[in-house]
Amino acid sequence: MSIVVDTSFVVALIDTDDAHHGAAARFFEATDQDFVTTPLALAEIDHFVGRVGGQSAQQVLWDNFDAGVFGLRWWADGLRDMIAIARERPDLGLTDASLIALAARLHTTRIATLDFRHFRTLATADGRPFTLLPADA
């Protein structure tokens, strides 16, 4: 089963000064499941990692994606799916909407995130709440 990855989780994982680094790192090391995200989230992750850690941190991030540590997924109707979700919940923005669409596509409720403000208020199309990791592990 795959785990959908939000920007906040990856930033905490890479930034050793982040208050959530320890929890993110322990969870990441303890799981053998695939971590996947969307191209929109990757762009956001790249931006925040660059701001927090500079070019050297970005290089580590790129190496991790290149090595398959984090997978990247997109599909033909991804844009349509993401926009439909964003229209229902305009407070999310397209990046978070893309992650919800990816979770639906992968039939998972598992999202690695520290963004509880948005993701705790969301549910799958059939009404199941998302499992936010590492908090709900």
Phi then psi for residue 64, to 5 deg, are -65, -45
Q: Establish whether 91 is an annotated binding residue.
A: no
* Residue 11: both structure tokens together: 């930033």
Using an 8 Å Cβ cutoff, are 3 and 50 in contact? no
Q: Establish whether 6 is an annotated binding residue.
A: yes
Q: Among 32, 42, 40, which Cα is nearest to 10's?
A: 42
Which residues are part of a known binding site for Mg(2+)?
Answer: 6, 96
Residues annotated within the binding site are: 6, 96
